[in-house]
Every structure is written in C-alpha cells, then in structure tokens.
Amino acid sequence: MIKLYYFNQEDFDQLIGWLDSEKLLFQWGGAHQFSYPLDQSQLFDNINNANHEDSKLLEYKAVDQTSGRAIGHISLNRIDRKNKSARIGRVLVGDKNYRGQGIAREMINQVLKIAFEELNMHRVSLGVYDFNAPAITCYERAGFQKEGLLRDASKVGEEYWSQFEMSILRDEWLNHRGESVNESWKESNSI
C-alpha cells in the first residue's frame, strides 16, 4: 500500500537517480519540459510554484507505507479551476523492485481521488506515448478512455513519438470506482 505526499527538494536526488536515460526522462516528463541530464535546478524551477492551495501543479511522491521509502512519482498539473479540468503527468514507479505490482494504478487512483473529491474536477486527462503498452493498460483499467492519437507529436533524438490522449470524466470515475469495489468484493467472497 502506498500513500501520496508532496514532492519536495529533499526528493530531487532520488528522482534524478531514477531518470538515468534520456528516453526515460522524456517518457516521464515529456519531450519539451526537461532536458537531459535532469538536474536540481530544473526540478526546483518546476516545483517553485507547486503544492500551494491555488497552484496549477501538485507534485507527489508515492511512499510505501510498510518501508517508509519513496518508490514513485506522479503529478496533477494544468489544474483549471474555472473549467474544472486537470491533467495527470509524470507517472513513474522509480524503484524497479516495485514495478509490476499495481503501484502505478494505485498512484493513479489516489491522484484521481484528489482531483475529483478534493479539487472537484469534472475532467482529468493525460498523454501517453503509444509504445508504452503497460501504461496504456494501467490507465484503461483505471477507467481512462482513448480520445485520439497525436501522430509524431514529439521529437526525441532522431525519432518521432506518437502520443495517445486519454481522459476520464467525474461520472465515469464514480461508476468505474463502484465497479472496482464490487469486483473486489466478489473476488474476496468467491469460493
């Protein structure tokens, strides 16, 4: 089980260590946001206006509640309180020992809860590169729907990467969350 806490300057070195290749950095942060190699000044500039009551960016670290260790990172950005929309970004299970255990989905569920219950958002979107099949599956299982493909949207080195746009609306999240609870109950009570 994990819990989200605000990401801060004390977490910079760990995140920089996780993002040890240009390709991984761009998958995490987008091809236009950060430059490789990632450094503390880039992260400081990024969170300078984050994690405040009215900020448009909330950056989180995911902490394993058993060990107390930070094992992942996720953000909720482009928070638009007028239009009640936000965007999930920078999803990473950084500690490789925790990958493949449903941690990313748990992070997504917790950040959706923040978006829909605490911030009263109507719509949450995200972008995912089309070759990242595990992430796409994770987002679909959390209730996201593909809206379209942005072909060759980002240039990384000499390659172009295409990106799926995905979203979930508040009502869809409420319905999906109810289905997930019912499925869990059925699984735990089956013989």
Structure confidence by residue, pLDDT tens digits, 39-55: 999 999 999 989 998 99
pLDDT at res. 189: 42
Percent of the chain with pLDDT over 90: 85
Indicate the helix (H) or strand (E) that contains 28.
helix 22-29
Average pLDDT (170-179) is 90
Name the β-bridge partners of 64. 2
Per domain, the residue ranges of the chain are 2-180
- 55: exposed, middle or buried (Cβ count in 10 Å: 0-12, 13-18, 19+): middle
Average pLDDT (172-181) is 83
Q: Is the pTM of this model over 0.85?
A: yes
Spell out the CATH class of 2-180: alpha beta
